[in-house]
């Protein structure tokens, strides 16, 4: 479709922020003002939430009133359904910041003969927009309009285009929702996007390994750039849609040279003086090698230095974690009572990965810790679709670093000696430091060994050191003689990494 | 479509005709309105609502399309959208009996 408009591409289209923060980043700041955007999705994909949030942000933040043209639910139903997101639609209506055009199905008999137009709808919509001095307008969903005039598809297409053109002429930014039949089929029923849309956004709610995976994708932005690909989203009470983007994250974290203690002076020495303030360290090892002990030391060392420490546990209950700590001479109860420690335990299966990410982000924003431990990433990986886990890790690590927090994550090896876990593969390039804990056989004895495999921006001890665990914690001993194989058969990729 | 919804087909009825402005479509509909009223010789009244002049009324009645001829006295309301020039069809749809049954409109 070549139109005059396509030739007149405005290099600096003014942007209308949707209030879905990460989504606005995907579309370079928001939806282009005075354009028409189609938001397509299957039933239950969050179209109405997206549309309402777009209006809500305009009304509550930017003082841009809106019009909601509803073809499906009645205004009262929308009021009720959207209340859980914290949107006080009734008040906005009373303040004339939001005006509804109620085109929801009404009970009447109808017969269509010959030609008609939708001037009734158009004048109602324009009247409402002028009434409220609206800047934003939502039509939800236009598919219903087609269903209302089921035998007159050509007329509806013509009229919808006429309505879109009239709204644009009035400078309104238009958001139309459209139904889709399947997650990966045609863009919308009636191919609405082909004749009326400047921009196309797709919301998906796909089943992936028995779990719902919600995503948003910007398919087309006429005359401007956008970030491509699906980005995970989640629906959050009191907020609405929250996108959890990967590609729009900027590498803006500054690197600190300030060191913090790992909680173990000997390990600090191995790392060349401790962990960096805004770095992520991965501790990898088989079960029983001492990962949780390192976590405990890390938290206790922070608290002792006057820092605030946050633990997000995915493997053990609070009771177990506190008992373990006591067994190594660390009193978590006292630390929590002092407000220096917060321990949050949750089953990985309790929620989806994007929700876990949001939970951690909220915890960080509330508690404002100086250090955070996550035990373990492997447990989280159980619930994750593959692509989702990498996105999760990138988002998480960049969020932690942005807040200049020292992070410690654990990953569990499936095999007891050597080997690497999938989370290691994902995270090895994302973390600044990697510490390996391994069972190492020497003659008839099984020892524990620790080594600092990678320490970004710092010298570190390259030796594999023996260590023992007793009632007072971890004790480092002499290096191993000879060269034990700490990698098992999958050594090649790790060595390349180095 | 020929079933009457009117409790008393002999009584005077009230219909509303929703048009938009004074374009060709509206003018055709208004001309048809006059013929219908004539046909029933005062047995029917058709109020004209210009949705452009009175969008609030269009909102109240939930009008999407024009022209729409509507009988809001029945439950549910009956609406005929589009071309209302076929008077026999219109009267039949709304359940009116012609005064002069010998006249053929088709």
For residue A423, the model assigns a pLDDT of: 56
Best of A103, A119, A151, A154 to substitute, by most chain B Cβ atoms within 10 angstroms, is: A119
Give domain status of residue B16, yes or no.
no
Residues of B with CB under 8 A from a CB of A: 1, 18, 20-21, 25, 51-52, 55-56, 58-59, 62-68, 76-84, 86, 89, 93
Q: Is residue B4 a part of any domain in this protein?
A: no
Please answer yes or no on whether A108 and B77 come within 8 Å at the CB atom: yes
Question: Is the minimum CB–CB distance between A105 and chain B shorter than 8 Å?
Answer: no
Tell whether B8 is covered by a domain: no
DSSP bridge partners of A440? A447
Average pLDDT over residues A45-65: 95
Over range A114-120, report the average pLDDT: 92
- pLDDT on residue A4: 41
Given a contact cutoff of 8 angstroms between Cβ atoms, the answer to whether B32 and B82 are in contact is no
Burial class (CB in 10 A: 0-12, 13-18, 19+), A260: buried
Residue B40 lies in a domain: yes
Interface-testing mutation among B61, B64, B76, with chain A (most A C-beta atoms within 10 A): B64
Q: Which two tokens stand for residue B94?
A: 């709304």
Q: Which residue of B has its CA nearest to A163?
A: B64
Domains of chain A: 4-243 (3.40.50.300), 259-497 (3.40.50.300)
* Domain count across chain B: 1
Evaluate whether residue B104 is within a structural domain: no
Residue of A nearest to B73 (CA): A108
Give the β-pairing of A98-102 and A66-70. Answer: parallel
| Residue-number span of the structural domain to which B67 is assigned | 22-94
Evaluate if residue A493 carries a pLDDT over 70.
no
Report whether pLDDT(B74) > 80: yes
The pLDDT of residue A331 is above 70: yes
pLDDT for A26 beyond 80? yes
pLDDT at A394 over 90: no
Contacts of B93 in chain A (CB under 8 A): 111
Residue B2 belongs to a domain: no
Name the average pLDDT for chain A.
Answer: 85
Question: In whole angstroms, what is the distance from residue A335 CA to residue B70 CA?
Answer: 75
The CATH number linked to B55 is 3.40.30
Overall pTM > 0.80: no
A153 touches chain B (CB under 8 A): no
> How far is B57 from chain A, CA to nearest CA, in Å?
9
Q: Do A114 and B21 touch (CB under 8 A)?
A: no
Q: What is the mean pLDDT of residues A373-385?
A: 84
| Comparison of pLDDT for A272 and A341, the residue scoring more | A341
> Nearest by CB to B66, which of A102, A120, A126?
A120
Question: Per the CB < 8 Å rule, is B55 touching A126?
Answer: yes
Given a contact cutoff of 8 angstroms between Cβ atoms, the answer to whether A34 and A171 are in contact is yes
Query: Can you give the pLDDT at residue A483?
Result: 64
**Chain B residues closer than 8 Å to A115 by CB:** 25, 82-83
Looking at the complex, does the CB of residue A250 fall below 8 Å from at least one CB of chain B? no
CA distance linking residue A76 with residue A81, whole number of Å: 9
More confident residue, A389 or A283: A283
Task: Give percent of chain B above pLDDT 70.
Answer: 81
Higher pLDDT, B4 or B35: B35
**Which percentage of chain A shows pLDDT scores above 90?**
46
Q: Are A372 and A364 in contact (CB under 8 A)?
A: yes
């Amino acid at each position: 479709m070549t139109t005059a408009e396509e030739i007149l591409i405005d290099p600096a289209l003014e942007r209308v922020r949707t209030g879905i923060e990460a989504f606005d980043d995907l579309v370079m700041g928001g939806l282009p003002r005075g354009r028409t955007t189609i938001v397509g999705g299957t039933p239950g994909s969050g179209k109405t939430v997206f549309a309402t949030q777009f209006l809500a942000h305009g009304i509550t933040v930017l003082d841009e009133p809106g019009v909601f043209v509803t073809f499906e639910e009645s205004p009262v139903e929308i009021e009720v359904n959207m209340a859980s997101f914290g949107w006080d639609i009734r008040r906005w209506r009373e303040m004339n910041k939001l005006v509804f055009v109620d085109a929801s199905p009404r009970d009447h008999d109808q017969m269509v003969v010959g030609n008609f137009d939708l001037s009734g709808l158009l004048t109602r919509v324009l009247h409402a927009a002028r009434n409220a001095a609206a800047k934003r307008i939502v039509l939800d969903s236009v598919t219903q309009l087609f269903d209302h005039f089921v035998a007159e598809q050509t007329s509806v297409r013509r009229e919808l285009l006429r309505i879109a053109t009239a709204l644009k002429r009035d400078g309104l930014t238009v958001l139309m929702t459209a139904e889709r039949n399947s997650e990966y089929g045609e863009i919308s029923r009636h191919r609405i996007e082909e004749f009326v849309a400047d921009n196309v956004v797709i919301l998906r709610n796909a089943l992936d390994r028995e779990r719902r995976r919600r995503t948003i994708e910007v398919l087309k932005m006429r005359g401007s750039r956008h970030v491509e690909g699906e980005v995970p989203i989640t629906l959050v009470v009191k907020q609405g849609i929250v996108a959890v983007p990967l590609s729009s994250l900027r590498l803006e974290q500054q690197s600190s040279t300030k060191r913090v203690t790992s909680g173990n002076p000997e390990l600090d020495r191995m790392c060349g003086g401790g962990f960096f303030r805004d770095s992520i360290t991965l501790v990898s090892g088989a079960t029983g090698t001492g990962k949780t002990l390192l976590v405990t030391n890390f938290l206790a060392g922070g608290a002792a230095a006057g820092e605030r420490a946050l633990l997000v546990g995915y493997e053990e209950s609070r009771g177990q974690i506190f008992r373990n700590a006591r067994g190594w001479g660390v009193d978590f109860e006292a630390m929590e009572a002092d407000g220096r420690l917060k321990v949050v335990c949750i089953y990985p299966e309790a929620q989806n990965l994007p929700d876990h990410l949001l939970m951690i982000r909220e915890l960080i924003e509330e508690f404002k810790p100086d250090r955070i431990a996550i035990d373990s990433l492997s447990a989280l990986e159980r619930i994750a679709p593959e692509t989702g886990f990498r996105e999760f890790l990138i988002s998480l690590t960049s969020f932690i670093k942005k807040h200049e927090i020292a992070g410690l994550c654990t990953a569990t090896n499936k095999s007891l000696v050597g080997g690497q876990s999938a989370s290691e593969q994902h995270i090895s390039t994302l973390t600044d430091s990697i510490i390996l804990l391994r069972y190492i056989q020497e003659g008839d004895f099984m020892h524990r060994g620790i080594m600092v495999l990678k320490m970004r921006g710092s010298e570190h001890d390259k030796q594999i050191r023996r260590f023992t665990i007793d009632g007072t914690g971890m004790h480092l001993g002499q290096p191993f003689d000879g060269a034990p194989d700490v990698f098992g058969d999958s050594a090649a990729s790790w060595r390349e990494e180095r | 479509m020929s079933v009457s919804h009117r409790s008393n087909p002999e009584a005077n009825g009230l219909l509303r005709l929703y048009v938009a402005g004074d374009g060709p479509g509206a003018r055709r509909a208004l001309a048809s309105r006059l013929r219908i009223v004539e046909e029933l010789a005062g047995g029917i009244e058709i109020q004209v609502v210009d949705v452009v002049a009175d969008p609030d009324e269009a909102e109240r009645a939930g009008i999407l399309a024009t022209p729409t001829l509507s009988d809001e006295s029945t439950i549910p309301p009956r609406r005929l959208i589009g071309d209302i020039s076929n008077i026999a069809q219109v009267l039949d749809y709304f359940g009116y009996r012609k005064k002069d049954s010998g006249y053929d409109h088709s």
